[in-house]
């Protein structure tokens, strides 16, 4: 694994997002994962993967040298998945959790990994009907990657608050902006915010302990919200809810990449990186889960509260030195719009409070899942992907 990180290229990008497979009339989840993959075109099938339940499908881009290149493939991939699913009589949508389909009616897919997950976790796996987006960032040098993972812990709550997109679950407004966090991050073992780790040896010793004591049999059973990925030599950011609006999803991914790059720059320059105690970060993570962009965060350096929207703005400003170098300005322009007009959870709460029918509400999410990808591709036509 040290060798894999030693040969990794800084700030290469891989993006992943997960889709709900739906009945086009009822908007309920349907178990069609195997059908969709089996009938997928040859150029699409290698990019598809399962994600626990058979009413869920994941699309993974190839590694890209630029964020814009990965963004283009993600948008094209979303539209390709939607078109292929429609040919099979299946609709698709993305929200952090489904607003009304009960978990009791879902089925775990038949792969060795997920059969192992179900066998070990039972109910905790059954209720994990959640949808996310993930960012892989190439980071050279294993010790550097571990230190940057530790620094990224401190900003995970702001990323979650910006991405919150699961305010309605089992037909109710849950009063959580990210119900997905409760269903997955707060339930699974070895999940959420890890302890601060100072170098790769400390991390490797922990993984060896888990293996030696039969806690895990593979590294992907460590489900932290920020983790080094053993296979790719990347840092994987896993905190965000799945995004209906592709422009918003790309903004969140771009901000996450900018944070990784800025912390790498600070590490290289010998500037101190944050390593806040987990108990502090957990306070902000709860605030993000509960109140999203409507809430307030603790500023750890000042020991005072600030508006969550201001905390997100501060991260955009903090990462400004890397925006042009990584071609992120176009994508990050969506962040202030989200702070002003609202994100997915805020829109869901407003729609629910207005008495909107849940089926119609989710049909609109399916429509925006497609239309926003078309809009993103149109905007990407003005952006260099090299």
Neighbours of 302 (CB within 10 A): 8
Q: What percent of the chain has pLDDT over 90?
A: 95
pLDDT over 90 at 113, yes or no:
no
The CATH number fitting domain 2-380, selected from 3.20.20.70, 3.30.590.20, 3.40.50.10860, 3.40.50.300 = 3.30.590.20
Pairing type for strands 53-60 and 13-22 reads antiparallel
In this prediction, residues 283-303 reach a mean pLDDT of 97
Element (H, E) at 381: none
Torsions phi, psi of 271, nearest 5? -80, 145
Residue with tokens 């991050």: 185
3 state SS of 49: strand
For all residues of the chain together, what is the average pLDDT?
Answer: 96
Q: How far apart are CA 212 and CA 173, in angstroms?
A: 43
Query: Model confidence over 35-94: pLDDT tens digits?
Result: 999 999 999 999 999 999 999 999 999 999 999 999 999 999 999 999 999 999 999 999
Query: Model confidence over 217-252: pLDDT tens digits?
Result: 988 899 999 999 999 999 999 999 999 999 999 999
3 state SS of 92: strand
Residues 6+ apart with CB under 8 A from 49: 57, 58, 59, 60
Q: What percent of the chain has pLDDT over 70?
A: 99
Q: How far apart are CA 162 and CA 237, in angstroms?
A: 14
Query: Are 190 and 184 within 8 A, CB to CB?
Result: no
Parse the chain into domains and list their residue ranges. 2-380
Q: What is the band of 296 on the pLDDT scale with cuts at 50, 70, 90?
A: very high
Q: What is the pLDDT of residue 382?
A: 67
Q: How far apart are CA 146 and CA 125, in angstroms?
A: 28
């Amino acid at each position: 694994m040290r060798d894999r990180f030693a040969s990794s290229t800084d700030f290469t990008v891989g993006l992943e997002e997960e889709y709900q497979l739906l009945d086009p009339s009822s908007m309920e989840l349907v178990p069609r994962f195997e059908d969709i993959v089996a009938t997928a075109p040859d150029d699409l099938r290698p990019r598809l993967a399962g994600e626990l339940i058979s009413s869920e499908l994941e699309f993974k881009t190839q590694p890209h040298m630029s964020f814009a290149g990965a963004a283009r493939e993600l948008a094209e991939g979303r539209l390709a998945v939607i078109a292929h699913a429609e040919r099979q009589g299946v609709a698709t949508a993305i929200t952090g959790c489904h607003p009304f389909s009960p978990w009791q009616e879902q089925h775990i897919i038949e792969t060795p990994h997920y059969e192992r997950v179900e066998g070990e976790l039972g109910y905790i796996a059954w209720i994990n009907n959640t949808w996310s987006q993930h960012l892989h960032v190439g980071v050279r040098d294993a010790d550097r990657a571990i230190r940057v993972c530790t620094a990224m812990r401190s900003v995970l709550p702001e990323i979650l608050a910006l991405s919150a997109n699961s305010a309605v679950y089992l037909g109710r407004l849950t009063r959580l902006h990210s119900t997905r966090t409760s269903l997955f991050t707060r339930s699974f073992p070895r999940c959420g915010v890890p302890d601060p780790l100072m170098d790769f040896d400390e991390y490797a010793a922990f993984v060896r302990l888990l293996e030696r004591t039969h806690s895990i049999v593979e590294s992907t059973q460590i489900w932290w919200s920020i983790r080094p990925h053993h296979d790719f030599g990347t840092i994987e950011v896993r905190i965000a809810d799945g995004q209906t609006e592709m422009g918003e999803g790309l903004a969140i991914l771009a901000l996450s990449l900018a944070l990784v790059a800025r912390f790498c720059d600070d590490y290289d320059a010998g500037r101190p990186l944050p390593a806040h105690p987990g108990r502090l970060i957990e306070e902000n993570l709860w605030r993000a889960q509960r109140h999203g962009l409507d809430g307030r965060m603790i500023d750890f350096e000042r020991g005072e509260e600030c508006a969550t929207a201001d905390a997100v703005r501060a991260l955009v400003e903090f990462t400004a030195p890397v925006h042009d170098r990584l071609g992120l300005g176009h994508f990050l322009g969506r962040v202030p719009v989200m702070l002003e007009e609202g994100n997915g959870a805020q829109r869901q709460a407003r729609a629910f409070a207005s008495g909107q029918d849940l089926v119609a509400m989710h049909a609109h999410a399916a429509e925006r899942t497609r239309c926003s990808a078309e809009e993103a591709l149109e905007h990407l036509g003005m952006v260099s992907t090299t």
